[in-house]
Chain A
Amino acid sequence: MKRGQAAVLLCAVLLLLVTAYPAAWLTFRALRDPSGAWTLENLRAVFAAPRLREGAINTLLLALTGAAFAAVSGGVLAALAARTDAPGRALIRPLALAPYLVPPIVASLAWIVLADGQGGLLNVLLARAGTSLHVEIFSFWGVAFVGGLVCSPVAFIILHEAFSGLDGELEEAARVCGASEPLVWRRVILPAVWPALAAAGLLCALLCNAQFGVQAPIGMPANVWTLSTLVYSTSLVGPVDLGLASAMALLLAAAGALLLVLQRVAARRAAPRRANARPARRLALGRWRWPVAGLLALYAAVALVLPYGALLLRSLRPFNLHAGMSAHQLISGWDAGVWARLWRDEVVRRAFRHSFILATATAALCCLLGAVGGWALYRRRTRGRALLEWLFFATPALSGVVVGLAVLLAFGGAPFWLYGTYLILLIAYVAREAATGLKAAEAALRGTPTELDEAARVCGAGAFQLAQRIWWPLLRPTLAAGAALSFIAAFREVGASSMVYSHGHEVLGSLLMVVWQDGRYQELAALALAGGLAAMAGSALVYRVVRGPRA
């Protein structure tokens, strides 16, 4: 067997082990009763119990509403950044990507501090201002709003690419034929980006479907249960029923797989960027410039200033501000000591250290798997490509809680006995992030002409030389971006981490979950801010190391 084939085979085996094997265990557990006999009782219970049925419906509705919000907000920002002369255009990209940096559970905390119907800061300010306006985060719409906000960077990335890649010739032709600017947008631009919008919307639905970090802190108190929170509650708290939890996880996985198929179909229909496309003209906003600037400022307030400000404020106070406080209490209750306490805490230091090491290992493994998989899928036209591609994309569609449960069932006990090791955490992270590596490799490989390979082969280069001298230098910059994204995702992962961690193997995600459960919100806010900064610094370092020195 050639070395190339061996690498592809190894990649396929590894993916089978981290994705298909846990999925098989999940199915197995869902179809067995505690005595070990085969049964459909667990699946029947999911459909029979009104609460579980309601959880399934809530999951679907939250995915759709969250995705709609994400697609609209991400789409508007992408259109403004790519196709208009909006003021402060250069700032739109960092602004749109900002919600990605903090884990969803922390974004949820920020919005609880701000918009709790009873005593949230916004409600206190609105009441003091004498208005009758009132916001309530503990509601279905609250979960959908925060879920959508957290997913909007994904929609922005896809739609920004779609808007930037449009061929300007078509638009110019329409204008030459006398079409007004609104007509050009309606008849040319929007139909051209429609498949990308559908792909972005479906991807956001997929992510909202799997958003335990929002559904748990906001949805559970509001009695808005979803399959993710029911899986968590049934497998880790309350009376434990792993068979029922597995059946619900299986249903959630099936919904994710369906959304994934639809997303892949929509993504294939999205027009690829033409290499010789003429850049499209930017729309002059004219008198709309300042209203648009206002809209951007409002988004900046909602996505950046208010939540991060609330976190910073919360990290400096043991208890939240509330309407009944006297002026003296307002002035006196500040405490920055939490930062020092966290710094001295051995468990916190250990969790950060573990997260850094595991996120780095995840980034390296995902890039390696992505590079080998990308080569097999987009260069070699290897047999079984569809299966390989599915192995890559199957698990990111799942909630971290579901992946964690599946990995725990598959690797926690016999025959691997990996519970209580770092390896089980790494497996869960790689299962969730392998697709990022492949996407990065795909972007690089699709843009590289095959003539280079042929020329190298004609000159007598073997597979190793080809990889070292041609592909690696070409793949490096995009793989570096993929590695940085995998790093951030693994560093801030909460759902799977809290399912599979054990004493002595704490990571930032598991720590955030524990601190959230205990209601230690000051520590949570400080940990979140520190974690966000560490994730940014770590991903920049990983990017730098993988990319290497600039030519």
Chain B
Amino acid sequence: MAKKDTLLVLCECGNNIRDKIDLEAVRAWALGDSRISQVVSHELLCSSAGKVFFTAALKKFKLRHIIIAACSPRAHENTFRSLGVKAGVNLADVNLANIREQAAWVTANKEIATQKAITLIKAALARTEYHEKLELRSMECLTDVVVIGGGIAGMEAALLSSQAGRKVTIIEKNIALGGRVIHSEELAPNMECAPCLLSPRLFKIKDDPNIRVVSFAEAVEVVGFFGNYQVTAQKKARYVKESCIGCEACFEVCPVSVKSDFHLGLGSRKAIYTLFPGSIPAGAVIDRENCLHFKDGSCAACVSACPFAAIDFSEQDETLSFSAGAVILAIGSETHAPIQNRRLGLGLLDNVYTLAEFERLANSNGPTQGRILLKNGSPPSAVAVIHCAGSLSAEGLPFCSGTCCVMALKAGEFIRKQIPAAAVYNIHDRLVFPGPEMQSFFDKQVAHGTRLLKTPDLPSLTVAADQGQLLVTGKNLQPLRVDMVLLATGQQPAADSGKLADLLGIERSDSGFFKSDHYFLRTTGSTLDGIYAAGSCLGPVFADQAVLQAQSAAGEAVSRLVPGRQIELESMTTEIDPELCGGCKLCVSVCPYKAVSFLADQGVCAVNEAICRGCGTCAANCPSGAAQAKHFTREQIDAELEGILDD
């Protein structure tokens, strides 16, 4: 025999329920039910007076189960559960029967609506018999942050996290911070000096006691979950001690010269090198592949040249480990320069460059110290920029990066600044200049002389060497003779993004960039809680957006990971009964959060309740009934079904 231990609270919801459902009939039925002990009603339970009334009723009757026949639990389940918990009632024991949205508002006939309301209450009652207590759970968390990638986004995320008092580790793959912004001389649309923008921030990071920069390093393992991550990084030996200040005395004596990655292969560096003067860290690195000491032991010129005795050939690679509550990914993107661009002369003809390469030529820290020159050393008198090179095509990038048009027009400004008489052509089909700033930048460039040549047949363009110049031809285009051709190439995911995504267990979008947890609401959250992403690793962005995303990612991380405060966890998680589990791992494969793991030593699966969000998909897939979604167990749902069909 069922216990009479339920309090039924009827809400009239003004006239919304009162006029559509015969609440007196409901009350009369309820008083005859074997489980309902008390029935009370209020005209508007969610009002201030209603809440006081509700709390008073809980305290007066002290019954185990509370069923509120009112509106949708989506509206007020939390309201009444919170009040219930305050009054000492368990979370699981406060439940709503939605007689407003599901009966009063959708049923014209009052008698039928009343009958349906009673059925809905019966269903709520039926499952209470199987209710088990739900726990309000929380967990201690680590509040430090690991940032992977030290470009403008990673630097911003680190600075903001530090400002909030968190310890930050930046793991940078390159030998120093700066990312791709430092490759530019000026940033459009306002032509702000990029090194001037970055330099003070680099020094701020250097002087920040909360921030540790681990450069020349890569993350190799990440384990854990939101609030408790362990990141392992492999740090390469620099063979130059931290006492190096980057004075470059060794550069002069080093006999080895190799192509510089920093100059995108357009310039050279020595086997001992820094990324750029004034980099952070400032110290040089010996390139083990090319250094003669490592090749055959024949050279130690740098050792004697160094005024600080900083050279140390015995340095070893290191494995470092960091604990953090959150990881912020800011690994950037790469220039997309596909093989198809060979018909545009890329890699085949002199004086054909991607825009990224051109930025190096125009940069005062570049291989020509900023002078825009042809291979023969003279300045170009005519330059063509070909838009959408490799983009918007099935064999190249299938999308518009949205950033190349602006960079393409910026090239014209760089050229005219040095060579005022030079002719600059932009061969394009579509143009993208979103917002007033970009539009006025575009208008200005056109006013200053950039000529636009529109053709709908961009894929038909070819570039050929012709009498010491370059000839651009194609359908619907007058053949164009120029000295230099620049390709406005798009942005593709960084080479490491696949490896990193696998390491972390996060998803990537079809284009290969890291996938946002939610396009609108959690752009900078990855698909795993506590792993954030910012900048162009989420998709091509300008520096301003990269900074905003970094602020968003760091902002969310530090506002959720607060020293001394626990992280609230889901109450309605899934549990796996090890007695029933057969270890088939179906649950492991369907969990969208990687919350379930297989315990090899015990041969069973287990849910990490710090990660589980309670969707119950694993429970539905469990063939043995070992996995049970709390508050949505088979028993509870079967009972509810019985109730709902009992009329």
Asked if A and B bind, the verdict is: no
